[in-house]
Chain A
Amino acid sequence: MIRAAVWIFWKDITLEFRGRELLLPAGVFGLLIAMLYGFAFDPTRNGLHGMFPGLLWLGIFFASFLAVGRAFSVEAEASGQLLLAPIDRGAVFLAKLGLNVLLTLVLAAVMTPAFSILLQVSLPQDTGGFLLVEALGLVGFAAAGTAMGALSAQTRLRELLLPALLLPFTSPLLLGVVSATEGLYGQQAASSSNWVLLIAIFDVIYIIVPVLLFEFLTEV
């Protein structure tokens, strides 16, 4: 199962490397969000500092939509040929999850410094903690996005449906990462550790549950 997953993952990476269909548009969109936030909320104003965690995470989530929705649409457009392969269906899901985790991590790695520079807010002092929050948050978002992407790819609307399904679904995750980041800035009485735990629980549930249910999706 792992071997098959790695091969599918590698196939998608090769496709992305040749076609640059996901990261480039999503990355440009991500940087644009930072620019537009800069226009909309004057960075020289004082209040922006308190809003920074929320702005950053919303930006990353929105840009990630462009990337995570494509993972399964690509296969749907190829008429689901991948499902003819005699492999465990869970492997397909894991491979797509791996791809989405990688894509969102790259996006966040580009967008986080860009947001910090353009909005003139320095990143939290606790770099290790911040990286942990980013990594766990993005894994959760990628897992939820892969699950909902697998569902929406088979609809008439394809990725258009994804925001309506994914945004309410990931609302606890958004609350978690924003609050944890605020905690790292020392803005809250409550520590980030509770929130990190909540994000981790979300991650574990939404990696395991879709892997178990994915088999049903490929039957029909």
Chain B
Amino acid sequence: MRYLRWISLPLWITALYLALVWVPDERSLGVSYRIFYIHLGMAWTALLALSANFVVSLFVLFKRNRREQLDHYAQATAEVGLLMTTATLASGMLWAKVAWGAYWTWDPRLTTTAILWFLYAGYLLLREAIDQPQKRIVYSAVYGLIVFIDVPIVYLSVRWWSSIHPVVFTNTGINISPQMLVAVIFFFFATLFFGLDLITLRAKQQALRQQLERLREQRLGELGY
């Protein structure tokens, strides 16, 4: 779906202009807070991609006749979700260094995101380690379901835990002005369409790869290997 690229490209250019030039500096954080736009966009897209992975995994299990096509999307959503989670963590850590004085704090959202990262890194590890295609499809779907249910429990436990432990750095809240809100929305849609583009591209690539393997096997069979 190439049109996604032609939607996301102008959105990116506009969003970058809005976030880097158009929007004024924040009162207490100054220029550094501008990373917040990309951070938020990536974080939301990551969550959406991983939620999509959950839905696709459900379909993989129950729509038996369309498993293979669906699995391409399961893999693509997990990979893009993990990529966006990595970007969220990286941009968040850079921002935290400036805003809170340390790369890492045990803030509930930060900790949950880190655990989320490990959970979906495990998803890709599991896929990688299973050779039989049918088994890989079903096992990763089951893992995807089990793990996604874990996410709210992780968030709840981490929030309770950090509410008991002393908070070293307090969260400097940002009061969003209408101007900032516009930039946030543009950045969110820019990353969202970028993510969708990546997902469809990756799923299509996997489908082509599979088709190529089939053709190769077929040809080898014809040649009598």
Binding site for B on A (CB under 8 A): 147, 151-152, 154-157, 161, 164-165, 167-169, 171-172, 175-176, 179, 188-190, 194-195, 198, 201-202, 205-206, 209-210, 213, 216-217, 219-220
Contacts and interface: CB of A to CB of B under 8 A. Distances in A.
- Give the interface centre of A161, A201, A210 by most chain B CB atoms within 10 Å: A161
A190 B164 contact: yes
B33 interface: no
Contact of A154 (B125, B130, B137): B130
23 contacts: A151-B142, A151-B143, A156-B130, A164-B118, A164-B122, A167-B118, A169-B122, A169-B147, A169-B150, A172-B154, A172-B156, A172-B157, A175-B157, A175-B158, A175-B160, A179-B164, A188-B164, A189-B164, A194-B160, A209-B145, A209-B146, A216-B61, A220-B132
Contacts of A220: 132, 134-135, 137-139
A28 to B, nearest CB: 28
Contact of A195 (B121, B125, B137, B160): B160
Contacts of A210: 146
Chain B interface size, under 10 / 10 to 19 / 20 to 34 / 35 or more: 20 to 34
Interface in B116-154: 118-119, 121-122, 125-126, 129-132, 134-135, 137-139, 141-143, 145-147, 149-150, 153-154
Interface of B: 61, 115, 118-119, 121-122, 125-126, 129-132, 134-135, 137-139, 141-143, 145-147, 149-150, 153-154, 156-158, 160-161, 164
Contacts of B122: 164-165, 168-169
B31 to A, nearest CB: 35
A215 to B, nearest CB: 10
Contacts of A206: 146
Contacts of B137: 220
Contacts, number: 92
